Chains A and B, each alone.
Chain A
Amino acid sequence: MTISDVARNDWYPVAIENLLIEGQPETVVLMGETLTILRAADDQIKVTAADGSECPLTLRYGHVWSSIGRPEHALFDIPEAAEEGRRMVDCGPVRVKASPLRVVENFLDIAHFPFVHTDILGAEPHTEVEPYKVEIRDTVDEVWATKVRFFQPQAAKSAEEGQMTDYMYRVPAPCVSILYKTSPPRPGAWDVIGLFVRPISEELCDAYAWMALYDEDSNQTDLVQFQQMIFLQDRSILENQIPRLLPLDPKMEIPTRADTTSVAYRRWLKRKGMTYGAQLVAR
């Protein structure tokens, strides 16, 4: 299959930066192409394609980012990453047998919390999704969902009891989603959780979670384990959605008001021509 330019010329996570050991190359597959990532003796990191050519490289948010094409833009910015007092935690990757776009869409969804993350991120009877605001911000070409509120029995590792939690979602690139949620120790501030997805094929991907939290107490292992447990619950859903590819034909699936973010995301993908991992017409 031919991979559209929008998909080719974007940045994708290929490794966790501080897990790269000097002199030990790692290979990953990005949209069918094998890339080798090496930290050389001079501490320089390099990404090479199968034919030996050097690939674009950006080191940011704890990850090594690369491309099989020629990105015309810099990697998206997460301003919060530079804020003082935040702990950065990498907790990926998790392999998922699903379209990378399904993985991102699931990350944007709150209505599943009581059923998939029962008693952690949601619990019956608190299932209602109140109206929230979704927009495609044309100036930055991003999807944003704001004023999202949902009841959570245990919103984060540091949360002890149930509370209404505020969220914002941001999609700065087709395979990336960033979530902002009320920080339990600092109710006025946002915890930031990023989901960076590397498409291996249209129906297989590696998802890296990255967090920038105000949490001084929880230990690193617990934070990673909490995030992984949540994501493994999502994976059991993602690997059982039919079709595997994300349908962009509005007749294929039935959204309600709670799915406004998903509707905007799909529309945005279609408009961009991002069809890698998507199904355009119902088969």
Chain B
Amino acid sequence: MYGLLKLMNAGLTENDQGSDGWVPVVLSADLPVAGVMRAQIDATQPLDLVVWRSRSGQVSAFDNRCPHRGMRLSFGFVRGERLSCIYHGWQYGEDGACRHIPAHPDMTPPASIGANTYLCREYDGVIWISQNADNPPDLPTFGGQGLRSLSVNRDEADLRKLLAETCIPLSGAGETAPAEASIIAENQTSLVLESTTEAASLQLMIHFQKVTPGKTMLHIQTNPDLPVDLRISLSRWAERFRWSAENMGTMVNSWDASAGEMRP
């Protein structure tokens, strides 16, 4: 997988997230058909976006602002292949062009009316966004399965450091102690955490989205076909990781599984 990550590096620019690079905003599984969501990206120009999936499964991203009267498009709804604004029902195609204005049903909207669009690609179980049209993503396949996304009130750089110190469970329901993990590959957007014992091996691929200053979203994938109880354990691990990162600023790796959630 390390080789893959190096390849993946080649597909990304050196620039900050949100300017030229590709930014992960949601796990594919969390944006179902006809789903509409808001995504924020902290960049030189902070971005407030709407990301939506059409009936046929196509994903698109626009500025989260309807050009008509400024309503947040993330409150809108999907009709077929169009996103409809909740205020007056103006409909936008996946290219951002306004296709229908309900107040004037017989009029073809002028081509000049449209939402501001971003590049939006679904790749290997994650939806990515970029502002730069010249630089399509060239990402390798991890073939992972989405675990969950998690918002953490810490900077991305801190989280990367803390992840290097974390232990992750290798089995469900606390059957075995969590094992030490190490970062085996890393690039501007993502890292792979691996934990291997004689009995088992596990990889987590974690994609970082800078949301607002001091707030980071982690989009976590695992290697495929893990048993359900292990997925549950990993999801709890993610919550403990967040708690440690937000409250301790250092990794707390030991816990008593029977005591349940480790929270103040």
Contact = CB atoms under 8 A, between A and B. Distances in A.
Contacts of B103: 111, 127-129, 256-258
B101 interface: yes
A125 to B, nearest CB: 8
Contact of A253 (B70, B101, B107): B70
Contact of B72 (A114, A242, A255): A242
B68 interface: yes
A50 interface: no
A116 B69 CA distance: 14
Secondary structure of the B contact surface, majority rule: loop
Nearest to B105: A128
Interface string B67-81: 111111001000000
A258 B104 contact: yes
B2 interface: no
Size bin of chain B's contact surface: 20 to 34
Interface string B41-53: 0000000100000
Do most interface residues of chain A lie in helix, strand or loop, or is the interface mixed? Answer: loop
Nearest to B104: A256
Contacts, number: 70
A237 interface: yes
B162 interface: no
A129 B101 CA distance: 10
Nearest to B88: A111
B255 interface: no
Nearest to B109: A256
A256 to B, nearest CB: 6
A112 B70 contact: no
Nearest to A241: B70
A281 B113 CA distance: 20
Interface of A: 109, 111-112, 114-116, 124-125, 127-129, 236-237, 240-243, 247, 252-259
13 contacts: A115-B102, A124-B89, A128-B103, A237-B71, A242-B48, A243-B70, A252-B70, A253-B69, A254-B68, A256-B107, A257-B103, A257-B104, A259-B69
